[in-house]
Structures are given as C-alpha cells and as structure tokens.
Amino acid sequence: MVTACSACAWLWTGGCRQSDGRRVTHFEPSSDGRVSVSRYPRACSFEDGSSPWSPFVEHCADHGNETVSWYENGHVNSAEWRSAGGLRPPKRVDVLETPPPTDLALRRAAQGVGMLWRADFPDARRLLSSMSKRLDRTRAEPARDSAARFYQYRQGRRNRARVLGMLLVELGAGPAVDLPRAPDVRAACGEVYGDTVGPRVVSLRELLGVLSAHRWRRNGIAVPALGARIHPHYGVFPPTRNEYVDLVAAAEVAAVRTAFDIGTGTGVLAAVLARRGIPRVVATDIAPQAVACARDNVRRLGMGDRVIVAQADLFPPGRADLIVCNPPWLTASPSSPLDAAVFDRGGRMLSGFVRGVADHLTVRGEAWLVLSDIAELLDLRTRAQLLGEFDSAGLSVLGRLDVRPRHPRARSARGPLAFARAAEQVSLWRLGAKR
Ligand SMILES: C[S@@+](CC[C@H](N)C(=O)[O-])C[C@H]1O[C@@H](n2cnc3c(N)ncnc32)[C@H](O)[C@@H]1O
C-alpha cells in the first residue's frame, strides 16, 4: 500500500503505519487500489482510537515545506504558507465558519492550532481585536530588575505574536480574500507577497499589518526636517519619531564632499544630508527591502543625482568626510525579519560600526552616531561600556547633541517599559579618529 500526501508529495509506504509509528487499523482504498490522502481522514482510525487527520496535517507541516493543510468538505486541502514577518506555519489548522467565543479561540491558538476563517471578514477583525484585548489583560507580574523586565516583555510580545497569528485567511488569485465584506488587498499583498499563483494562507494579523503598511507607503509620513514626505515600505523602519531626524538636520556640518549613511532604512537621513547640500551621499542597508524603499524615496525626492543606495553589510568601499549611522537601539535577538531594524543581535551593528568607522573616514572626517540611552536605562549596556568601545576603536568624542523623545509613548505611564521610556534621551554622538 502506498499513500501520497497531496500537500508535499511525501510517500507513505509499508501499508499500515503512520509516520509516528502508530498502527492504522483500517484502510479504505480508492478504486485504483491506493489510499488517497483526501479519503484517509474518513477512512482510517488508529488503534488507540484517536482521529488520524491531525497527525497527518502535522506530518505535512513537519516537512518544513511551508504548506498548511486542513480538512474541509470531506477533503484535505492544502495551500502555501506565507509570512513576511517570519511566522512559522501552524502544524494543525481547523476551519472556522462561525466566530467562536474569544476564550476558546485563545485556547486553541495557544495550543498551536491555526483557525482558517470562512465567515464575514469584519467579524474576523473583531475576534482578533477581542483576543488581543484579552491578552493585554492577562499580564504577568513584572520582573524586579530592568533587564529581566525587558526580556520578559520581549517574550510576552513573541507569545502574543504567535497566538494572534493563528487566525488565518486564505489568499486566492488576485491576490484576493474571498470572504464577505473583505477589503481589496490586491495592491498591498502584491507589494509584499508578489504574484499569487496557487492558494496561500496568511495570518489575518499580518494581513492587517500589510494593509496599513500599504497606506503608509501610498500616503507617506511627513518629515518636517526634510520638508517632504517619506514613503516607508512594509518591514522597513519608519521615521515616525522626528527627534532623531531633527538632530541630523541640526548638527553643525563642515565642508563635506561625500557622506555615508549606514543602515539607511527608508533613506530619510541620506535625504536630509542631501537636502543640507552635501553633493554626494552613499547610503547602505543590509536588508533588501530597505534598499528598495530608500531607492524609491530618493527617486520620489528627485535626489537620484546625489544619493546612491547600495546593499552592503555596514560600509561601502572608500572613505567619507561624514558618516552617519542610526543603528537599532536595543541589544536583543530579532524574532522576525521586521524586528531586525529595532533589535541588534548581540549589538553587532553598533560594535561593527564603532570598530570600523575610523577606517572609512577621511583625515578630518566625522562620524555621527545616533543612539538612544534606552539600552542603558534597561541595564542592557552601561555608559562606561559604550565609551570603552569608542576608546578601543580609536575614536574620540568631539561633542554630543541630546534631545528628549516627543512621541506619545514617551509620555505614557502604561506598559512594563514605561519607566525607561519616560527617562529616555536620544543623542547624536560626534566622533572623530584619534590622532
Ligand atoms: C533603526 S533602523 C534606522 C533606519 C534609518 N537610518 C532611520 O534613521 O530611520 C536601522 C537600519 O539598519 C539596518 N541594518 C542592520 N544591520 C545592518 C548592517 N550590518 N549593515 C547595514 N545595515 C544594517 C536595518 O536593516 C535598518 O534599516
């Protein structure tokens, strides 16, 4: 007896054993003598009496081929799993034709069961929102020390993303969501997931993020220091906090022929430097989506003759009179590709920049490092360690400009990290090579 998995073409040979070794007691072969997978869930039962279809679905997910399968209308269906945010596909998927109570949905999600929505789209949004509010109400007691509180917060965010990511929708050709009162997702999903050939399953929460990122990309964010709008792409750090951009716009600049902007993101700081009259700016980013976004913004701003954007790990070849860098401010492992603009694994970008910058400066060149002290307030780094890194890299501090954040979260007393946000200061460190 041979069984082929319709999702991943895995062949089950040997007749009566499932991949986990349990014996199947009954087969119902189809007319060609094979057990078709679509009939397998109804046809077989295991010796221990359990339902065989969930192990089957798990087997498909275990193959790591980013496929999800579910049982619906008497068939096992499957679709490609897509997550731009790096979510893993659920091992088991149930179909939801009516909204379940919030507690039940949360319980299933916490068990790792994906719920494929087949009802009214706005009801799915409502369920997601009530799951989210319920999770907010069940916070653990905050840890006592700051660093532990930060890691606890990160763990909580990861769990939250995993659980809320279990509410799923299918993307059909278009890409389109074929559900009553579903929004038009074509442009937004086309930008992030590319053309849809076969059916795909995505998390509803991610889809809503993709839709709002599309609105940002279309409308842009006003950047007063630039006197223009910047259009962030999905997954690229948006310049919603103006204070750090204002620092780069205000710092005194000597005669500069070439500037580098390391980790350019949307290209906002490169654009500010070009707006300040620097004739040549080379901007780099390690993330391809950031490179595409920065190029898009440079083109929109008509700065293509002054700003070059390249994909690179830190520095482009050559030297510059001014090198600007706004690295991720927190040392932590990113849990998704989107996190990588905010969390710096092991402080790799910050130390790489500090250690390498002197070799890329011209003789009287200056480096501007934009950094918040939030990592110090959370006990993830000390000021002495930062100054020690500057010193061992042969850099001296030429000056520093400080500013207090103005974004609403800095004034909010809510959340486990509010104590650090309330005291946070953002600085532009002016660094030069020791002579
Ligand atoms: C905090 S964001 C800053 C973006 C932009 N400069 C701004 O100020 O809005 C950090 C950026 O550094 C990029 N990055 C991280 N590691 C990098 C590396 N090794 N080389 C180049 N870019 C890197 C990330 O992709 C991200 O776009």
Ligand 1 atom 23 nearest Cα: 263
Which residue has the least CA distance to atom 27 on ligand 1?
Answer: 265
Residues 199 and 247 grouped into a single domain: no
pLDDT of residue 154: 86
Can you tell me which atom of ligand 1 is nearest the CA of 352? 19
CA–CA separation, 354 and 390 (whole Å) = 6
pLDDT for 36: 36
Q: Report the pLDDT value the prediction gives residue 206, as an integer from 0 to 100.
A: 96
Would the pLDDT of 79 be above 50?
yes
Question: Ligand 1 centroid to 421 CA: how many Å?
Answer: 21
Domain that holds residue 329: 235-433
pLDDT tens for each residue of 276-305: 999 999 999 999 999 999 999 999 999 999
Q: Does residue 27 lie in a domain region?
A: yes
Q: Specify the residue for token string 């789209």.
A: 121
Same domain? For 399 and 326 the reply is yes
Handedness of CA 285, 290, 295, 301 (dihedral sign): negative
Dihedral of the CA atoms 96, 120, 89, 102 (nearest 10)?
-60
Residue 317 is part of a domain; what is its CATH number?
3.40.50.150
pLDDT band (50, 70, 90) for residue 408: low
262 and 303 assigned to the same domain? yes
253 and 351 share a domain?
yes
- The reply to whether 64 and 132 lie within a common domain is no
Which of 221, 260, 264 gets mutated to test ligand 1 (max ligand atoms within 8 A of its CB)? 264
Mutate to test the pocket of ligand 1, among 285, 329, 333 (most ligand atoms within 8 A of CB): 285
Q: Name the domain boundary from 191, 219, 247.
A: 219
Identify whether 225 is part of a domain: no
Domain assignment present for residue 224? The answer is no
Do 190 and 277 fall within a single domain?
A: no
Output the CA 185–ligand 1 centroid distance in Å: 28
| Centroid of ligand 1 to alpha carbon of 326 (angstroms) | 7
- In angstroms, the CA 277 to CA 300 distance is 18
The torsion angle over the Cα atoms of residues 113, 116, 118 and 122, rounded to 10 degrees, is: 90
Q: Taking the alpha carbons of 196, 285, 295, 275 in that order, is the dihedral positive or negative?
A: positive
Report residue 150 as tokens.
Answer: 């930060």
User: Cα(152) to centroid of ligand 1, in Å?
Assistant: 25
With beta carbons less than 8 A apart as the criterion, state whether 283 and 309 touch.
yes
- Please tell me whether residues 255 and 371 are part of one structural domain: yes
8 A C-beta contact, residue 344 and residue 331: yes
Spatial neighbors of 404 by CB under 8 A, at least 6 apart, are 243, 410, 424, 425, 426
Q: Spell out the long-range contacts of 295-301 with Cβ–Cβ below 8 A and sequence spacing 24 or more.
A: 295/267, 296/231, 296/233, 297/230, 297/231, 297/266, 297/267, 297/268, 297/271, 298/267, 298/270, 298/271, 300/231, 301/226, 301/228, 301/271, 301/274
Arithmetic mean of pLDDT, 48-76: 58
Q: What is the pLDDT of residue 389?
A: 97
Helix/strand/coil for 149: helix
Q: Which atom of ligand 1 is nearest to the CA of 236?
A: 27
Burial class (CB in 10 A: 0-12, 13-18, 19+), 363: exposed
Residues 64 and 111 occupy one common structural domain: no
CA distances from 378 to 128, 373, 413 (A): 31, 9, 16
Mean pLDDT of 345-358: 95
Which of 349, 351, 360, 426 is the pocket-test mutation for ligand 1 (most atoms within 8 Å of CB)?
A: 349
- Same domain membership, residue 419 and residue 283: yes
pLDDT above 70 (res 240) = yes
- Report the nearest atom of ligand 1 relative to the CA of 290: 27
pLDDT band at 340 (very low <50, low <70, confident <90, very high): confident
Q: How far apart are CA 370 and CA 367, in angstroms?
A: 10
Whether residue 49 lies inside any domain: the answer is yes
Instruction: Give the closest residue (by CA) to ligand 1 atom 9.
Output: 239
User: Which of 242, 200, 180 is closest to 403 using CA atoms?
Assistant: 242
Give residue 397 CA to ligand 1 midpoint distance, Å: 22
Point out the ligand 1 atom lying closest to the alpha carbon of residue 324: 6
**Span from the CA of 266 to the centroid of ligand 1 (angstroms):** 9
230 falls within a domain: no
Is the pLDDT score of 369 beyond 70? yes
Specify whether 189 is located in the same domain as 313: no
Asked if pLDDT for residue 117 goes beyond 80, the answer is yes
Q: How far is the CA of 237 from the centre of ligand 1 (A)?
A: 8
Q: How far is the CA of 187 from the centre of ligand 1 (A)?
A: 26
Nearest CA to ligand 1 atom 17: 286
Instruction: Give the pocket of ligand 1 (CB within 6 Å).
Output: 237, 239, 262-266, 268-269, 284-287, 290, 313-314, 326-328, 340-341, 349
Among 12-26, 74-88, 185-199, 326-340, the range of highest mean pLDDT: 74-88
Do 337 and 427 share a domain, yes or no?
yes
> Is residue 335, in this structure, part of any structural domain at all?
yes
Token pair recorded at residue 44 = 């077989």
What pLDDT, in 10s, does the model give residues 200-223? Answer: 999 999 999 999 999 999 999 999
Residue 48 has pLDDT above 80, yes or no: no
Please choose, from the candidates 224, 264, 260, the residue with its C-alpha nearest in 3D space to the C-alpha of residue 240: 224
* 417 CA to centre of ligand 1 in angstroms: 23
Side chain identity at residue 100, one-letter code:
P
CA 413 to chain centre: 26
What are the start-end ranges of the H helices in 71-185?
102-110, 121-137, 146-164
Predicted confidence at residue 416, as pLDDT, reads: 66
Compute the distance between CA of residue 40 and CA of residue 44 in angstroms, rounded to an integer: 6
| Lookup: tokens for 224 | 């007063």
pTM: 0.83
Tell whether 229 is covered by a domain.
no
User: Which of 79, 109, 143 finishes a domain?
Assistant: 79
Give tens-digit pLDDT for 54-67: 333 333 333 334 89
How many domains is the chain partitioned into structurally?
A: 3
Residue 227 is assigned to a structural domain of this protein: no
Point out the ligand 1 atom lying closest to the alpha carbon of residue 245: 8
Do 118 and 131 fall within a single domain?
yes
pLDDT tier, 196 (very low <50, low <70, confident <90, very high otherwise)? low
Q: Supply the pLDDT for residue 12.
A: 37
In this structure, the residue with its CA closest to atom 12 of ligand 1 is 263
Last residue of a domain, one of 79, 97, 123: 79
Spatial CA neighbour of 283 closest among 265, 268, 264, 257 = 264
Centre of ligand 1 from the C-alpha of residue 122, in Å: 36
What's the pLDDT band for 306 if we cut at 50, 70, 90?
very high
Most confident of 2-6, 68-72, 158-162, 354-358: 354-358
